[in-house]
Copies of this chain bind each other. A is one copy, B any other.
């Protein structure tokens, strides 16, 4: 059961913005029991996005989450690129148009903008790939999209973190089933780090857990994250490793 994430934006490729969206999405998916297998970032370019979407689909993930490039400006081309990648038409979503209209009228009434009318850029946001279900944006104008395509659940979300997070929580996670994983972090101490590998391997075979390890600074400390469906299973795996000589400190 694996997932992929695709983030879109020139600002990510020039290093002007750190891609914190990927980590947020990855954490939520991991908690739901998905293995995030790959994260890809491309720029605001129809061909680049199209290629990246097709490559991700070819790997047959259960879920593909795409974030970024849904706004009103000329370089927001994600919906068009997704539609092309799926060989679907980009079609007007009438209820979306009404929502976007209402959104800009509200901004105008509140004095944020000079003109409430739907120009080309704003109108563009009401076009979705054919067959897509619109996803509500409680924090901004751009609607998201949910598309089931050849067995892959594709979610297209905005790139602004506040909008993306709200849409992920409200509209995405509810469509991904109920199974929840929990994770606990530890600092593991072992005098010879080369002895850790066989112990981890045996724990993985004996218990329903996933374990990630990463070195923390120099020497004998290793960061360990144990994932399981319940805390008891984490404790059982931990006790097993302790009996083999690993000392844990909870983080």
Contacts and interface: CB of A to CB of B under 8 A. Distances in A.
A41 B39 contact: yes
Contact of A23 (B18, B43, B140): B18
> What interface size band does chain A fall in?
35 or more
A13 B39 contact: yes
A75 B213 contact: yes
A85 interface: no
Contacts of A119: 192-194
Interface string A219-251: 110110101000000000000000000000000
Interface stretch (A26-34, A129-137, A149-157, A171-179): A26-34
A145 B121 CA distance: 47
A102 interface: no
Nearest to A24: B15
A143 to B, nearest CB: 15
A74 B196 CA distance: 8
A10 B194 contact: no
A214 B8 CA distance: 12
A36 B191 CA distance: 42
- Could you tell me the dominant secondary structure of chain A's interface residues? mixed
Contacts of A20: 18
Contacts of A43: 37
Contact of A14 (B26, B55, B71, B192): B26
**Residue picked from A14, A30, A119, A194, most chain B C-beta under 10 Å:** A14
Contacts of A15: 22-30, 36
A222 B112 CA distance: 14
Given A15-B30, A22-B41, 9 more contacts: A11-B214, A15-B25, A15-B27, A15-B36, A16-B225, A18-B23, A37-B43, A37-B48, A55-B55
Interface of A: 9-20, 22-30, 35-43, 48, 52, 55, 71-76, 107, 112-115, 119-121, 140-141, 183, 185, 191-194, 196-197, 200, 212-215, 218-220, 222-223, 225, 227
7 contacts: A14-B26, A14-B27, A19-B23, A38-B41, A40-B40, A113-B219, A114-B220
